[in-house]
Structure 1
Amino acid sequence: MKSSLQHAFNPEEFRREGHKLVDLLTAYLTDCREAIAMPVLPPSAPDEMERYWEGELKKQDFDLQQFYTKLITQSNHIHHPRYMGHQVVPPAPLSALTELLEALLNNGMAIYEMGPAATAIERVVLRWLAQRLNLPASAEGVLTSGGSAGNLTGLLAARQAMCGYDIWEEGSHDEAPLALMVSEEAHYSVARAARIMGWGEKGIVKIPVNGNLRADTRTFNQTLQKARKEGLRVIAIVGNACTTSTGTYDPLDEMAGFAKAEGLWFHVDGAHGGAAAFSEKYRHLVKGIELADSVVIDFHKMMLTPALTTAVLFRNGSHSYETFAQKAEYLLVNGKKQAWYDSAGRTLECTKKMLGVKVFAMIKLYGDKIFADYINTTYDLGHTLAGMLKRESGFELATEPDGNIVCFRYIPLEFRGDADALTAEIRKAIIAEADYYIVQTRVNGKTYLRVTLMNPFTGISDLTTLLGRIRNSGDALAAKN
């Protein structure tokens, strides 16, 4: 036993294997930057993949570097410019080195003495972000693990602040059920948060969207009054910055005004697009975010940071202490009096990763400009693609894109069959070729291809080739029908 532990903690072996891994990853990053042909999403079937790794686990021999190499080849290649799938950023490489440091130090951060430097760094990073969003000096917050956890944290705070009693201690009173208003295009995590809080389906009051798939301001009052007549007590309204499906931004400034007039909590789900605040060119998309009672932004979406790192900011910083107000005497004091430096009472997590460290390193290495440059590059590319689609016969946009998420489809001019089925088959053909990774979605009841341009090194030639592949696949498939 002693020798196995000595082997596992051998510093020289760590140095040797670490150097090999960095060399391997450097070669991989070079291939991606040079757009070397590779299966961006390697073809595989879940059951076959499980059987492969089950077999690997049973083998007696094991080579760590071969394991790393195999894992790379079987993974989704986010750093390749032809990755255009989900909202996952190719992290800046040096931020991954910081993640290695975090993993080895492994400071838990439930209370200050479990992670002193990381605790202070988190507070500094959150203050920095609040200033960039033009939130008041009273703003405070926490970092948590993902946008779903972030939205739940913000909406739990809304519930505690707006229900009129201590719901955390007393539970729900037998009176009007609580509810929130949110666009029918919102991310599922908002509805999930309502269900987790016990509000059920009726607690999710959906706001109709307009022709641009934004929450329709003309329906706000009617939607609220209808919910009230049905016996619901709406306590919050949620704005999207932006929606996951189409990348559309809700009119945050108008939602803020409505929330103030009606006495509602205003929460902004800016997990993907809240970072537009860093760009002079695109900041208008988040006009009104500074008026929110709570805001969620993912650093691992549009801020070049490895997953998962999500900021939850509260306009009134005291709300970040009241969300999970409870007692755990060996760790916590009463939540309303808790010191800022003990975070376990303010987040879903007790043990928590050193989430702010890699963000701090990014800020110091590159400054605010890298975030503005990234937003400008990828959002510009989204608008460029939309322009290309409008010039190409047979292509149609689901809606004009606000940023780097573009939904479209191709229908051959003479095609009279099922356009939804054709779109799904085109996507299958593109995935089978494996040179690109794109996904599909439903917009207004129709199936569209969806690309999210997360890689800042994706070029016009990549887009041109993709549209050619889609056209060729569509024509070939249409000819069979």
Structure 2
Amino acid sequence: MRSHLLNDLTAEHYRRSVTEGVERVAARLATTERPFTGVTVDALAPRVERIDLDRPLHDTTAALDELEEIYLRDAVYFHHPRYLAHLNCPVVIPAVLGEAVLSAVNSSLDTWDQSAGGTLIERRLIDWTTARIGLGPAADGVFTSGGTQSNLQALLLAREESKPGRAAWEEGASLASLRILASEVSHFSVKKSAKLLGLGQDAVIPVPVDQDKRMRTVALAHELERCRQDGLTPMAVVATAGTTDFGSIDPLPEIAELCARYGVWLHVDAAYGCGLLASVRHRDRLAGIERADSVTVDYHKSFFQPVSSSAVLVRDAATLRHATYHAEYLNPRRMVEERIPNQVDKSLQTTRRFDALKLWLTLRTMGADGIGELFDEVCDLAREGWRLLAADPRFDVVVEPALSTLVFRYIPAAVTGPDRIDRANLYARKALFASGDAVVAGTKVGGRHFLKFTLLNPETTAADIAAVLDLIAGHAEQYLGESLDRAS
């Protein structure tokens, strides 16, 4: 079995195997006509379950043939222009090349003696990103697995920097008085982080949003003052630059002013909106982000990188010490004095992939402007889509997009009850997915079911959007017609 170990003796085997795999994927990409085949769980699960993992095929070609049957043929392909569902982007080729390199070399970014140049590349990219944000000369950060981990680490730092947080660590005091303020449409990971950080169920205070789904600063000021009067400690305010459902960007300058006035840590969740950091035309939409104490960025959303590629950035590098633990076998304290750069000193993870390489090769091949142009294209496309929806009497669209998300629902011409409209929209989404012709997402607004386009593919056109809207309307009308027939 040593013939399968990647080393100097098996380099040719590696080249042949990887080339065959790449050719399979390339052929599939070139011939994919729909984003999804419509396969069901009941149809696909038996194919996977009947494979005996204790009886290997002993042949790469046979294994790839099998993979075609259980995965490649029925995968959901984000590169297709009618995949319009979640925050999944088509990926750029330089990043895919980086993925191949980092997987083969298999560096681990926890310590210098496992990564060498990989550590320096990651650190350089962190510096590049903090400079783009404008966090200042003392800024730092580290790559993470995604926005959820980045938000968790940022809020850990905020907790430890708060007076009750320090007291709890040093004296065993209670954390019950700590509060996190975030908009009512912020990412669910804020509440999850609060739970993981040992805070109470009421620790996250939802701040109302305006008609554009942006945090209302008057409401934020009210909640901050209420915390003060009630003897509670606002541990952090989480502002969102690109909410998952609406792509809305909170008023960052005003929120930063309030955080400065009340002495509260400001975290900006820019997992989605970070693509504006590379934008030539829309960078001003992130004005105020430079005043954050910490920022989440997801390169695997709006920088067109493969999963996973994310980072948490901080204004003050010293705050990262709250994630630092020293192990004699890995990163003993003496290494700090010897100025050996161990990234595990900053990270919640120990073993960690060299995901930074993907972004590095992207920037060295395409440049930041190249990334920014792609993100600008999808933002412009969303504006076109909004105009289509606003002019179409069949649909109700919620907000004008700040990024590349559209939330809407089908409204039938004939008067019908809101529950039937909900069911018609749910049916349309499921029927569309089952057909494989397009993939769209869904959410709730005001307790009602809506549909969602998340536009992250520059190859998607206004004609694609119009065609998918027709498909949605057709499925919804079919449902309403059939339900009337059943009722009669």
TM-score range, shorter chain: over 0.9
Runs of 5+ consecutive residues of structure 2 not aligned to the other structure: none
Q: 1:171 to 1:37 in 2, by over 3 A?
A: farther
Give 1:30-429 correspondences, 5 Å limit: 30-31=30-31, 36-38=32-34, 40-46=35-41, 48-57=43-52, 61=57, 63-70=62-69, 71-163=71-163, 166=166, 169-170=169-170, 172-174=172-174, 177-320=177-320, 322-333=321-332, 339=339, 341-417=341-417, 418=419, 419-429=421-431
Q: Distance in 1 between matches of 2:411 and 2:333?
A: 61
Is 2:460 aligned against 1:461?
Answer: no
Runs of 5+ consecutive residues of structure 1 not aligned to the other structure: none
Deviations 1:331-378 (A, max 9, x none): 234599675721112111111101211111100000111221111111
Deviations 1:431-460 (A, max 9, x none): 121110101101122211011111110112
What is the Cα deviation at residue 430 of structure 1? 1.2
Q: SS in structure 2 opposite 1:422?
A: helix
Aligned amino acid, residue 45 of structure 2: E
Q: Distance in 2 between matches of 1:221 and 1:134?
A: 25
Aligned amino acid, residue 5 of structure 1: R
Aligned amino acid, residue 441 of structure 2: V
Q: SS in structure 2 opposite 1:400?
A: coil
Give the RMSD, CA atoms, in angstroms: 2.1
What is the Cα deviation at residue 60 of structure 1? 5.8
Q: 1:335 to 1:425 in 2, by over 3 A?
A: farther
Query: Which residue of 1 is the match for residue 438 of structure 2?
Result: 436
Q: 1:168 to 1:301 in 2, by over 3 A?
A: farther
What is the Cα deviation at residue 414 of structure 1? 0.7
Query: Which residue of 1 is the match for residue 20 of structure 2?
Result: 20
Aligned amino acid, residue 69 of structure 1: E
Deviations 1:369-406 (A, max 9, x none): 12211111111111110000111112111222111111
Q: Distance in 2 between matches of 1:96 and 1:359?
A: 10
Q: Distance in 2 between matches of 1:286 and 1:172?
A: 39
Q: 1:27 to 1:176 in 2, by over 3 A?
A: closer
Q: Is contact 1:325-1:336 (8 Å) kept?
A: no
Q: Distance in 1 between matches of 2:176 and 2:315?
A: 27
What is the Cα deviation at residue 7 of structure 1? 4.3
User: Does 177-186 or 216-225 show the bigger shift?
Assistant: 216-225
Q: Is contact 2:394-2:411 (8 Å) kept?
A: yes
Q: Distance in 2 between matches of 1:135 and 1:441?
A: 34
Q: SS in structure 2 opposite 1:450?
A: strand
Q: Is contact 1:415-1:478 (8 Å) kept?
A: no
Aligned amino acid, residue 367 of structure 1: G
Q: Is contact 2:224-2:262 (8 Å) kept?
A: no
What is the Cα deviation at residue 471 of structure 1? 1.8
User: Does 468-477 or 166-175 show the bigger shift?
Assistant: 166-175
* TM-score relative to the length of structure 2: 0.92
Is 2:452 aligned against 1:450?
Answer: yes
Q: Distance in 2 between matches of 1:172 and 1:307?
A: 39
Q: 1:25 to 1:44 in 2, by over 3 A?
A: closer
Q: 1:165 to 1:183 in 2, by over 3 A?
A: closer
Q: 1:335 to 1:464 in 2, by over 3 A?
A: farther
Deviations 1:450-476 (A, max 9, x none): 111111101122111111111222222
Q: SS in structure 2 opposite 1:201?
A: coil
Q: SS in structure 2 opposite 1:399?
A: coil
Query: Which residue of 2 is the match for residue 6 of structure 1?
Result: 3
Across the two proteins, how many residue pairs are aligned to each other? 472
What is the Cα deviation at residue 30 of structure 1? 2.8
2:474 to 454, 472, 479: 472
What is the Cα deviation at residue 242 of structure 1? 1.0
Q: 1:282 to 1:172 in 2, by over 3 A?
A: farther
* TM-score relative to the length of structure 1: 0.93
